[in-house]
Amino acid sequence: MKEFTYVVTDPEGIHARPAGLLVKQANRFQSRITLHKEGKTADAKRIFAVMRLAVETGQPIVVTVEGEDEETAAAAMEAFLKANL
Amino acid sequence: MIVLNGTGVFGGIAFGRLSFFQRNECKIRRRHVEDINRELSRFEKAKHTAVAQLQTLYEMALQEMGENHAMIFRIHQMMLEDPDFCKTVESIIKTRQVNAEFAVSETENHFRRMFSAMEDSYMRERAADVKDVSDRVLGILADSTGTARRYDEPVIVAADDLAPSETVQLDKSKVLAFVTRLGSQTSHTAILSRTRNIPAVIGLGDALKEEYNGRPAVVDGFSGRIYIEPDESTTAAMEQKKRKEEEKRSLLEQLKGLDNVTRDGRRILVCANISSESDVEAALQNDAQGVGLFRSEFLYLDREDYPSEEEQFRVYRSVAEKMAGKRVVIRTLDIGADKRSGYFGLPSEENPAMGYRAIRICLTRPDLFKTQLRAVYRASAFGNVAVLFPMVISVQEVRRAKTLAAQVRQELRKEGVPFSKKVELGVMIETPAAAVICDLLAREVDFFSIGTNDLIQYTLALDRQNRRLDPFYDPHHPAVLRLIRYVVERARQAGIWVSVCGELGADLSLTEAFLRMRLDELSVSPPCILALRKKIRETDLSKG
């Protein structure tokens, strides 16, 4: 399993549009990708779950990636977050 | 005449008849079903049709409003395909043996409640998206075709609020304005209004009654008012306002994209003064060549505690990115005098205009100053950023400010945080002292920005807040103009650039004089930019 932490810097947090992009990105991979925030978790491939997590700007999220393509998936997710959130 | 008050979203005046938006709301009945599989497959089929429709809407919206706004339909697709949503519908059909319509409606309520309960107001509004998506599926199940609404003549569209799919399907050539009971600045109606330049007034509440349907009205998107059955004088006033607006807009269209150059070829930069992140839009709309003055105070006012480095960084970065390589001059904290904030713990002063303010606060509280400088330098990695020190009266002050800036750069370098090595530092010339010793100050910095408002007040010893002094106030006083000329000349001799960023910059009777002085830049409020451009393009310095 791969794990990394990312602090959201987008002023609006993970709201609808970036949540959509994130889900789209996560669905490209086989691995199970989970977001963790303050004890709550969300499946990164599900839009309602990601939106419900309501990640605001300045909040750290832990991303765990588990599966066959976890190496590439983790790297891609981290790059995506840095570029978009 | 009836007058209703709401919030204007996009400035503009529209005359027309009110037309209430009709929806085919279908009543959902709970039916007990025997054939569960039939209901499951009805839902599955309706879902597929809905996803395909959303694809069409996405492509329409992409053409009309761009990727940013079209994305909402992709999100609607994701919502429909979200296993959480589908499983809920399916499990309601199975466990309660009910029709697909009822199951979708129940699921909709469940997910809407989830969003409605969220703290973030933006997220709360996403409940409307859940409704929009569910209504689409319900419409398909009821076999009612969701065709675009057609109006015979252009109308003012009235509604509670409009869903994204509704706004996209409207024939925009027939929409004069939007008026809604609900809605906020982030609602879809508001976004459409801004991107398509359609006047809109939102948040009118229950005062917007269905009985007004078909009546003539005027929408004033500037004041957020609508007048139903307007009387003669209101109609005349609104017609005049509309004409003025149209003149302004046609001026804008004519002048947009043109150079700020005189007939004989002298060029000058015309930039925007902004006070917040949201002003950037107006700066770009009016074709600003940069931000000549970004007043950073707004970050510090109307709040309980100091803004963090991170918060400031985000704002500066966002402005720098939006200006896309054009220079953004950030004036460091200019608090004190008439701009105060409780948490600073500033003592009350007999004479605050001449008191503890701006750079004087920053130099005695370096921690505060360095936080801001760190944020500015970090933002410099994302655009063209410059720093401007306000209220300077001595060379010493500039050197101390520069030392702190150097410390910040060193710290960032040590931490491996990226920043631009070309961040220019400048001094605001707004005290007579700074103007008179500007030759000495010019050796220390990369540019000057002449703040005429304070320079006039301090030179003439005349308080601008005191209305009784109006007869004595003369912004063209020779003392002021001589100081400006002196500063521009010395700056040119020293080889640094110089700008005028106060109200005098927008004073068209001085434009020619400024051009003759060979001023490098004028920075004015965004709505003044194009009028200034017009004046510059009409000027011929080879004559007279």
Across B90-95, average pLDDT = 93
Domains of chain B: 2-23+147-235 (3.50.30.10), 36-141 (1.10.274.10), 261-538 (3.20.20.60)
What CA–CA distance (Å, rounded) separates A48 from B164? Answer: 18
Which residues neighbour A83 within 8 Å (Cβ) at sequence distance 6 or greater?
none
Residue B188: count of CB within 10 angstroms of its CB: 23
Nearest chain B residue to A53 by CA distance is B118
Closest CA to B223 of B15, B11, B431: B11
Lowest mean pLDDT among B131-145, B277-291, B361-375: B131-145
Closest CA to A35 of A11, A58, A19: A19
State whether A57 and B314 contact (CB < 8 Å). Answer: yes
Q: Which amino acid is at B462?
A: L
**Active-site annotation holds for B501:** yes
Residue numbers in chain A where pLDDT is lower than 50: none
DSSP letters spanning B297-336? GGGTSSSSSPPPHHHHHHHHHHHHHHTTTSEEEEEP---B
**Contacts with B, A 8-37, CB within 8 Å:** 9, 11-13, 15-17, 19-21, 23-24
- What percent of chain B is modeled with pLDDT above 70? 96
Helices B127-141, B36-65: axis angle to 10 degrees equals: 120
Contacts of B120 in chain A (CB under 8 A): 13, 15, 54, 56
Nearest chain A residue to B67 by CA distance is A17
The model carries a pTM of 0.58
Residue B385, strand partner residues: B328
What b/e readout covers B440-477, taking b as 16+ CB neighbours within 10 angstroms?
ebbebbbbbbbbbebbbbbbbeeebeeeeeeeeeebee
Q: What ipTM does the predicted assembly reach? A: 0.85
State whether A49 and B318 contact (CB < 8 Å). Answer: no
Query: What domain range includes position A41?
Result: 2-84
DSSP letters spanning B66-104? -HHHHHHHHHHHHHHH-HHHHHHHHHHHHHHTB-HHHHH
User: Which of A9, A11, A23 lies at the smallest CB-CB distance from B78?
Assistant: A23
| CATH number of the domain residue A52 falls in | 3.30.1340.10
Which tens digit of pLDDT belongs to each residue from B36-60? Answer: 899 999 999 999 999 998 998 888 8
Task: Provide the domain count of chain A.
Answer: 1
What CA–CA distance (Å, rounded) separates B505 from B513? Answer: 11
Closest CA to B526 of B326, B351, B338, B279: B279
Which tens digit of pLDDT belongs to each residue from A52-76? Answer: 888 887 888 899 999 888 988 998 8
The answer to whether the beta carbons of residues B225 and B5 sit under 8 Å apart is yes
Q: How far is B531 from chain A (nearest CA, A)?
A: 34
What CA–CA distance (Å, rounded) separates B498 from B292? Answer: 10
Give me the pLDDT at residue B195, please. 67
